[in-house]
Amino acid sequence: MARDNELRPLWLEPLLDNNFYEHDCICEVHNQYCTFFCKMCKNKPLCESCWRVDAEAEHELHQFLQIFKVSEKASVRKADIESEVDVRKIQPYVINNHKVILLKPKGGNGGNPKCVICEGKIKDEFYDYCSVSCKIIGDTRQLDKVELAGKYNRRKRTPCRSPLL
Ligand SMILES: [Zn+2]
Ligand SMILES: [Zn+2]
Ligand SMILES: [Zn+2]
């Protein structure tokens, strides 16, 4: 759906398409998880060793996102995406003094506070969403509401005349 993509950076969906921490790097050399994602190429992520080699050769001046593991789930640093994605209502976690946010739902239903989309438990009631994925679903629903309201307003508005006439 094009109208959704307009609100999001182009790399976001390709990033969320990855299952991080499920298998090692496809290079089959390094036995590492792939935790480096190029925001411009949007290809499959690289392991750290491949990234060190490729980043200079094939990704000159490209920006990479680094993935971190939180409770077996992939997360990104809040500071790395907050200029492009509105993450204010997503529950952050702290690892190594950095705030990170989960890409996909953490799971674990029951209890409060909870994510307004997947109902997974979150830590702080200030936040609405457990993860970036749930935030995107929330945005889409919000957008549907705004569009409906827009249609209604347009119908009601009376045509206005130019003041010069
Ligand atoms: Zn590798
Ligand atoms: Zn690249
Ligand atoms: Zn959620």
Give, for all 165 residues of the chain, the pLDDT tens digit: 445 445 689 999 999 999 888 776 767 677 788 899 999 999 989 888 888 888 878 898 899 999 999 988 999 999 999 999 999 999 999 998 999 999 999 877 778 899 999 999 999 999 999 999 999 999 988 878 877 777 666 555 555 555 554
For residue 42, being part of any structural domain is answered with: yes
What's the gap in Å between 81 CA and the centre of ligand 2?
17
Ligand nearest to the CA of 106: 3
What is the extent of the structural domain holding 90?
2-151
The total number of structural domains in the chain stands at 1
Radius of gyration from C-alpha coordinates of the chain? 20
CB 89 within 8 A of CB 120: no
For residue 85, being part of any structural domain is answered with: yes
Q: How far apart are the first and last CA of the chain?
A: 41
3 state DSSP class of 66 = strand
Query: Which of 37, 35, 45 lies closest to 70 in space, CA to CA?
Result: 35
Query: Which of 106, 104, 42, 35 lies closest to 67 in space, CA to CA?
Result: 35
What's the gap in Å between 38 CA and the centre of ligand 2?
5
What's the pTM? Answer: 0.81
Q: Which residues surround ligand 1, an ion (CB under 5 A)?
A: 25, 27, 30, 47, 50
